[in-house]
């Protein structure tokens, strides 16, 4: 390919809406263009990158015996209603684009395809003799993000590889899950990414076990906690740890403290000489459930701990038997709308009485009381006294209503590892590029996808689900591989492996040698790009650095002597040699990289 025919348009200035380096460089380098909020056009250079990633993904999945298919983007509401996810995806989180067709039928643009593939499997896979089967697709997906940001990292339309496996028993599911984890590790390695597998929450997709694959980068939206020895790594949403040891409250009788203006743990401790670990903070929240109920919650944590929203959602869902669509703090205006008296916010204790809810209009009339072990393990503590500007010193759980114990806290850097107490958790930021799940029979039960087992009985198909964000992976590679001058693509996914730059196309010697090298590279099966533009050499060099082609051969003033300059993009190292030596060295580097 010649740059003169590539329609390459690069930018010198950083786009105003691009917040992180990878987004800035992809726009500046002529890889993507924004056409609307969260909507991007993949320009020719980017499409070449995506195609190479797709080739690697297909190669690894085909080697496992997975079968490629293509499922409809537009999905009927009916299977989603049967699985119980339609309400949550449309009215709850609201991430599914949905509409009514001219016949009045509800349809949605798929953010994922569990329902559709399960219905198909139930129709096609009738006997254990047909199992196991793994189907996969590379497909455009849609999410109605409230705040699209970071380019392809959080867009409203994106490319994803999703695979679904079907099994007769748990052992077979676990085997495929492990094989898929191995394939993912190879995919990311071949793409030139430093990716780490971490324990993860299954989220709205569900399932018993799941792992995320994270590319470590400062711009990552996820916080990863891991041990220095590499034996444990988890997304903070899922991570567990041993908290720091709480300070013991001195001996003394239980008593009330006057605490005017001390509505926060920090103010309370500063005014009364307390450690946050000697206190219990209580959050008053309202859970909106998928079945329409609105459930008030009292959540107790040790004062030095932070609430983990994902763990809380999971605990409420498990307790209530219906997915929690939203959990948010109760505020004074909500109390007024419900016809309730004000609550003493800032002074609430774990024993706030249910009678405060008796006149409620549309909420449940009793609190669900949840407490983290860090709070329950305190023998004596300081907490709110349920009266304005009053706290109790020396309170005990024996005088409190029964609490539902649940892990609700954020593990954090500096905590001891639960798996090896000698290891101290460290934190890094990561970009999620893959996620695998053991779904079990969650969807096959709901959608009645059954098969005849070896005993002649009807059983639900067991499922696994395996996703890779193709377009996100491409940008994650840039986030992990760039410098101040531009992108440094790993050779296996670079749009071109080598760029030949003719410094002066008006010089017939340079032009002839450049054309010869370009032709030799193409004949050797190398993806080569020839910069044959009538631009100044400096412009060409800056563009070559910006777009990030791994190897550059510069044909310049020494062309008459048959000598050229070879530049490795990632290290910026350069050397001058004969054109034949340059050709040989680049071929070895490129073909060794593949």
Q: Give the residue from 351, 438, 353 showing the smallest Cα distance to 399.
A: 351
pLDDT tens-place string over residues 560-585:
999 999 999 999 999 999 999 999 99
Token pair belonging to 526: 């190398």
Q: What whole-number distance in Å separates Cα of residue 238 and Cα of residue 242?
A: 14
Count of CB atoms situated within 10 Å of the CB of 214: 29
pLDDT in tens, the chain (594 residues): 999 999 899 999 888 888 899 999 999 999 999 999 999 999 999 999 999 999 999 999 999 999 999 999 999 999 999 998 998 899 877 899 999 999 999 999 999 999 999 999 999 999 999 999 999 999 999 999 988 989 999 999 999 999 999 999 999 999 999 999 999 999 999 999 999 999 877 665 555 678 999 998 888 889 999 999 988 999 999 899 999 999 999 999 999 999 999 999 999 999 999 999 999 999 999 999 988 899 999 999 999 999 999 999 999 999 999 889 899 999 999 998 888 889 999 999 999 998 878 778 889 989 999 999 999 999 999 999 999 999 999 999 999 999 999 999 999 999 999 989 999 999 999 999 999 999 999 999 999 999 999 999 999 999 999 999 999 999 999 999 999 999 999 999 999 999 999 999 999 999 999 999 999 999 999 999 999 999 999 999 999 999 999 999 999 999 999 999 999 999 999 999 999 999 999 999 998 765
Strand partners, 79: none
Those residues whose C-beta lies under 8 Å from the C-beta of residue 538, and which sit 6 or more positions away, are none
Q: What is the pLDDT of residue 199?
A: 85
User: What is the per-residue pLDDT across 120-151, written as a single tens digit (0 to 9) for each?
Assistant: 999 999 999 999 999 999 999 999 998 898 99
> What's the pLDDT score for residue 357?
82
Distances from the Cα of 542 to the Cαs of 30, 502, 506, 525, 547, in angstroms?
13, 13, 20, 26, 9
Q: Which residues of 238-266 are buried (b: 16+ CB within 10 A; e: fewer)?
A: bbbbebeebeebeeeeeeebebeebbebe
Query: Given this model, what pLDDT does residue 594 score?
Result: 55
pTM to 2 decimal places? 0.87
Please return the burial class of 416, using the count of CB atoms within 10 Å of its CB with bins 0-12, 13-18 and 19+: middle
In whole angstroms, give the CA distance from residue 163 to residue 114: 9
Q: What is the dihedral of CA 122, 126, 131, 133, to 10 degrees?
A: -40
- Tell me the C-alpha distance between 230 and 349, whole Å: 40
The Cα 399–Cα 208 span in angstroms is 37
**Cα→Cα distances 292→264, 440, 485, Å:** 33, 27, 54
Closest Cα partner for 179 from 56, 65, 53? Answer: 65
Distance CA 589, CA 591 (A): 6
* Contacts (Cβ under 8 Å, ≥6 apart) of 429: 216, 217, 218, 219, 220, 221, 222, 223, 224
Contact yes or no for 480/194 (Cβ under 8 A): yes
The predicted structure's pLDDT at residue 209? 77
Per-residue pLDDT, 204: 53
How far apart are the C-alpha atoms of 265 and 262, rounded to whole Å? 8
User: Cβ of 334: how many Cβ atoms within 10 Å?
Assistant: 14
Q: What is the DSSP string of 538-560?
A: HHHHHHHHHHT-SEEEEE-GGGG
């Amino acid at each position: 390919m010649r740059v003169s025919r590539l329609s390459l348009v690069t930018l010198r200035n950083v786009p105003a809406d691009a917040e992180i380096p990878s987004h800035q460089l992809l726009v500046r380098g002529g890889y993507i263009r924004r056409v609307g909020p969260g909507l991007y056009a993949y320009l020719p250079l980017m499409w070449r990158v995506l195609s190479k990633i797709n080739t690697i993904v297909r190669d690894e999945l085909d080697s496992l015996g997975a079968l490629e298919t293509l499922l409809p983007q537009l999905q009927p509401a009916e299977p989603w209603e049967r699985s119980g996810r339609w309400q949550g995806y449309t009215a709850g989180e609201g991430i599914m684009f949905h509409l009514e067709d001219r016949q009045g039928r509800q349809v949605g643009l798929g953010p994922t395809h569990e329902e559709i593939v399960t219905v198909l499997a139930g129709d096609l896979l009738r006997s254990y003799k047909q199992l196991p089967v793994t189907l996969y697709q590379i497909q455009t997906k849609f999410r109605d993000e409230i705040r699209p940001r970071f380019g392809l990292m959080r867009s409203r339309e994106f490319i994803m590889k999703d695979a679904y496996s079907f099994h007769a028993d748990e052992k077979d599911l676990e085997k495929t899950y492990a094989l898929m984890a191995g394939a993912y590790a190879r995919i990311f390695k071949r793409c030139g990414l430093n990716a780490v597998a971490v324990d993860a929450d299954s989220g709205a997709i569900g399932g018993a076990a799941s792992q995320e694959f994270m590319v470590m980068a400062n711009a990552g939206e996820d916080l990863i906690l891991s041990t220095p020895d590499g034996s444990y790594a988890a997304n903070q949403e899922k991570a567990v740890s041993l908290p720091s040891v709480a300070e013991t409250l001195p001996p003394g009788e239980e008593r009330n403290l006057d605490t005017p203006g001390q509505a926060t743990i920090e103010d309370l401790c500063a005014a009364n000489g307390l450690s946050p670990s000697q206190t219990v903070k209580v959050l008053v929240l309202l859970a909106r459930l998928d079945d329409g109920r609105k459930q008030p919650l009292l959540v107790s944590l040790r004062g030095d701990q932070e609430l983990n929203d994902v763990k809380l959602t999971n605990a409420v869902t498990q307790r209530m038997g219906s997915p929690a669509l939203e959990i948010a703090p109760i505020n004074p205006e909500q109390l007024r709308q419900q016809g309730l008296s004000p609550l003493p916010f800032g002074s609430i204790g774990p024993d706030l009485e249910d009678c405060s809810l008796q006149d409620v209009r549309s909420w449940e009339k009793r609190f669900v009381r949840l407490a983290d072990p860090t709070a329950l393990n305190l023998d004596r503590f300081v907490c709110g006294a349920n009266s304005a500007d009053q706290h109790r010193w020396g309170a005990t759980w024996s005088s409190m209503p029964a609490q539902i114990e649940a892990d609700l806290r954020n593990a954090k850097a500096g905590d001891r590892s639960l798996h090896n107490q000698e290891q101290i958790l460290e934190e890094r930021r990561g970009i999620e590029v893959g996620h695998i799940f053991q779904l079990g029979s969650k969807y096959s039960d709901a959608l009645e996808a059954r098969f005849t087992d070896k005993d002649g009985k009807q059983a639900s198909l067991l499922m696994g689900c395996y996703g890779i964000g193709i377009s996100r992976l491409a940008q994650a590679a840039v986030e992990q591989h760039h410098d101040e001058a531009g992108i440094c693509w790993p050779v296996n996914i670079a749009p071109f492996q080598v760029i030949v730059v003719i410094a002066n196309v008006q010089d017939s010697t340079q032009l002839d040698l450049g054309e010869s090298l370009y032709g030799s590279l193409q004949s050797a099966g190398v993806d080569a790009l020839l910069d044959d533009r009538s631009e100044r050499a400096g412009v060409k060099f800056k563009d070559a650095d910006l777009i990030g082609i791994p190897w550059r051969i510069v044909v310049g003033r020494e062309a008459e002597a048959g000598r050229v300059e070879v530049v490795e993009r990632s290290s910026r190292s350069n050397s001058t040699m004969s054109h034949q030596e340059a050709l040989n060295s680049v071929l070895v580097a490129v073909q060794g990289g593949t």
